[in-house]
Structure 1
Amino acid sequence: MGAAVRAARRRSVRPRLAPWLFIAPWLLGFAVFTAWPVLYSGYLSLTDYDVVNDPNFVGFDNYVRMFEDPKVGLALWNTFVYTVVQVPLYVLVSLALALLLNRAGRGAGWFRTAFLLPKMTPPVAVGVLVLLLLNGQQGALNEFLGWFGIDGPNWTTDSAWVKPGLILMSLWTVGSSVLILLAALRAVPEELYDAAVIDGASGWYRTTRITVPMISPALFFVVVVNTIGAFQTFTEAYTAYFGAGNSTYGNDAALFYVIYLFQQGFEFFHMGYASAMAWLLFLVVAVITAVQLVVSRRLVHYEGDR
């Protein structure tokens, strides 16, 4: 009797154990390559660590130092301005292209591929393109503007135009967001549009009162993901303005937060200070994402909502 009970228990445990065995490789990788580094960086943020010598515990000195460092404030401000302008523009361009693509006929597949291909371009190459296309004297963009009699600005050297230039270049990679929004558009029931047309609704009314509310979950996802990405902007700006000891184009207008964090950690070997900066960035992004989640309760409409 006892053996039968034990066998029955083993059989009941196996179905519960199987899912954990399947996800065990992911759990192990997450623990080793994500959770542990994050926790260890929290410890390093409380130390003076130069990578070579052992960490020296200094408490919250690194956090106090951040509030006294003017470049931290400058980098945060540059990143905030970039995000506030880039994210809405990125989402609007993505939505416009998705709406156009939704009306495409036989060429829709080709356009989907064409929009997504730039996303495959290495970010370092995009950083080089910034200098080639936006050069104030011989850049392709200024030459194009010259055809219309417009004297283009010095995109790469004028502090007032550095961030606008980087924002324009960021639109190069809207392809993935276009496809996400296109999938959401394809899921909107045609009956809603038919009923609106019968009622005499204009195209603008159908777009703002049917299309946008119906795809609002996808729009919200694109906004959140691109907001987090904008706060982590690094490769393109670093390659164009700070890479390979580039002091010619080095410009404080392009000093984004992650660039300054990278400089502190891997150029000046202030790894403890860089870890504290990383935790500050995590806190800022978490707060902004939380605010977006709260706002979304009024603006985002899910299918199950009544």
Structure 2
Amino acid sequence: MKKALSRNAGFFFVAPWVIGFIVFTVIPLFQALYLGFTDSNSITAPNFVGFQNYIDLFHDEDFLSSLSLTVWYAIFAVPLGIAASLSLAALLNCKIRGVYLFRTILYLPAVVSGVSIALLWRWILDKDMGLLNMLLARIGIQGPGWLSNPNWVLPSYILIALWGAGGGILTYLAGLQDVPRSLYEAADLDGAGWFEKFVKITVPMLTPVIFYNLIMGIVGAFRKFSDAYIIGGAGNQGRFYMVYLYQNAFNYFKMGYATAMAWILFLIILVLSLLVFKSSNLWVFYNAEIEKGKKKSKRAPHGKEGGLY
């Protein structure tokens, strides 16, 4: 009797979450799936059109250009962002005077509103009155039209992404704190330099953190919206995938079309995430695996099996 009461009490306490999950997640998910097969405009009753939205998408030049822009942005911004965050974290892991101040300054972009960042960079990258071109003019360099020249729009957004690389510093710093000091001490005894220690100790020990940031970076790159919507760019060069999706849904009132775009985006992110997860066995190393390798290395005769380096 007591077990039955305790079980019923457990169901009672989790019921609000279950109801909320069904009402606000499961039902809208199936509604969105249905809308993708209709000509919904959010005003009149939707009509079922089958796969027509998905067929039309791949004949839509604007859709293909926005997808291409987003893919190219992800190709450059994600690895460069990871490299920048990791390098900054390695520098900020040193025990130097004022390191906590530097950590705070570099992390600030992660806590500032995306709208504020967009407005700031729209001024910085202005062709005539922008801060960046004014600084370049002081050293005799004619700055380009960052947002007015189609060839410079994508590099401008990559620059903005690198400026915000400080957001990943915390995770890398946490990972660096977990790297055993004994590994670096052993490397010093073997005469390893700082670069060799970074490549053969620091990076392998941080691969779980790199893996996490890679997944989050891919998702963030394909969902880029706020700054792209506010800043824009020459022609359609600043129209990322999510911006075009928003325009279809709320400017053109093509909700069914936009929902189909959302499902394609979901599939793209899902496939890329699965590929990263599948490849993780080849390059992600966890502490337990490394400790196992160290024990195996210690048991092997000297010179027959490589050590840490």
**Common fold, TM-score beyond 0.5?**
yes
Are the counterparts in 2 of residues 130 and 166 from structure 1 also a CA contact under 8 Å?
no
- Cα distance per residue 1:86-136 (max 9 Å; x no partner): 011111110111011100435233233222222222111222222200111
- Matching of residue 10 in structure 1 with residue 4 in structure 2: yes
- Matching of residue 276 in structure 1 with residue 266 in structure 2: no
- Aligned residue number for residue 251 of structure 2: 267
Which of 271, 276, 284 matches 1:292? 276
Q: Which moved more, 1:170-179 or 1:186-195?
A: 170-179
Give the 3 Å change call, closer, same or farther, for CA 142–27 of structure 1 in structure 2: farther
Secondary structure in structure 1 of the residue aligned to 2:210: helix
Q: State the distance in 2 between where 1:132 and 1:149 align.
A: 21
Q: State the distance in 1 between where 2:53 and 2:210 align.
A: 38
How many residue pairs align between the two structures?
290
Which of 222, 238, 248 matches 1:254? 238
Give the 3 Å change call, closer, same or farther, for CA 181–270 of structure 1 in structure 2: same
Are the counterparts in 2 of residues 124 and 236 from structure 1 also a CA contact under 8 Å?
yes
Q: By how many angstroms is 1:150 displaced?
A: 1.8
Paired AA for residue 300 in structure 1? V
Secondary structure in structure 2 of the residue aligned to 1:135: coil
Please give the root-mean-square deviation of Cα atoms over the aligned residues, in Å: 1.7
Are the counterparts in 2 of residues 46 and 276 from structure 1 also a CA contact under 8 Å?
yes
Are the counterparts in 1 of residues 38 and 49 from structure 2 also a CA contact under 8 Å?
yes
Runs of 5+ consecutive residues of structure 2 not aligned to the other structure: 293-309
- Matching of residue 230 in structure 1 with residue 214 in structure 2: no
Q: By how many angstroms is 1:55 displaced?
A: 1.3
Secondary structure in structure 2 of the residue aligned to 1:57: coil
Secondary structure in structure 1 of the residue aligned to 2:58: helix
Q: How does 1:111-190 map to 2 (within 5 A)?
A: 111-190=102-181
Paired AA for residue 201 in structure 1? A
- Cα distance per residue 1:139-197 (max 9 Å; x no partner): 11111222322221100111110011111112232233101100000110000000011
Paired AA for residue 75 in structure 1? S
- Cα distance per residue 1:1-29 (max 9 Å; x no partner): xxxxxx25426636xx63x5555444433
- Aligned residue number for residue 72 of structure 1: 63
- Matching of residue 28 in structure 1 with residue 7 in structure 2: no
- Aligned residue number for residue 43 of structure 1: 34
Give the 3 Å change call, closer, same or farther, for CA 180–149 of structure 1 in structure 2: same
- Aligned residue number for residue 59 of structure 1: 50
Q: State the distance in 1 between where 2:13 and 2:158 align.
A: 42
Paired AA for residue 54 in structure 2? Y
Paired AA for residue 13 in structure 1? R
Q: State the distance in 2 between where 1:284 and 1:165 align.
A: 24
Q: State the distance in 2 between where 1:297 and 1:69 align.
A: 38
- Aligned residue number for residue 195 of structure 2: 204
Q: By how many angstroms is 1:250 displaced?
A: 5.1
